[in-house]
Amino acid sequence: MDHSRGGKNEKDAEMPLPWQQIQSALWLVGLAIIAWQDWWWPGILVLAAFSGLFQAGVQLYLKKREEQQQVVEKRVELNQQRAAWLPAVCPQCGGPLSVESVQWSGDALGACPYCEANMRPQTNTTGN
């Protein structure tokens, strides 16, 4: 939960087009009902309140959905990072390892599903 990588601008506060159209339709229906019932006051206030509630609800929904999407993306990314350093077989028991089978207790800390040996990235830089 630390820094989020920049690059993405903040989303516009405006709702996507389909939602705007739904809201417009709600307004039209609401105005029709108000005119039909001859209930301009305080009906127009009620309609405005409903409109605001609708917009807030939509934005909450969209935000939640976006967060869920980011969680999924983050998980995929995390699994890719894990797969990059996870050995194909357990160095202790030789059992085959995969990102799915290892029991993760942290972003970069897992346990072999067979012998429960700890798995973590090799940080020795014996590179060329």
Chain contacts with Zn ion (rule: CB under 5 A): 90, 92-93, 95, 112, 114-115, 117
Which is closer to Zn ion, CB of 27 or CB of 114?
A: 114
Smallest gap, in angstroms, from Cβ of residue 95 to Zn ion? Answer: 5
Q: Is the CB of 52 or the CB of 95 nearer to Zn ion? A: 95
Output the smallest distance, CB 122 to Zn ion, in A. Answer: 16
Bridging pattern class, strands 109-111 and 118-119: antiparallel
Between 19 and 114, name the residue whose CB sits nearer to Zn ion.
114
Q: Which amino acid is located at 45 in the chain? A: L
Cβ-in-10-Å burial (0-12, 13-18, 19+) of 110 comes to: buried
For residue 119, the minimal CB distance to Zn ion (Å) is 9
Rounded to an integer, what distance in angstroms lies between the CA atom of residue 118 and that of residue 103? 9
The amino acid sitting at 7 is G
Nearer to Zn ion, 72 or 115 (CB): 115
Smallest separation (angstroms) from Zn ion to the CB of 106: 18
Give the three-state DSSP class for 117: coil
Three-state secondary structure string covering 56-92: HHHHHHHHHHHHHHHHHHHHHHHHHHHHHHCCCECCC
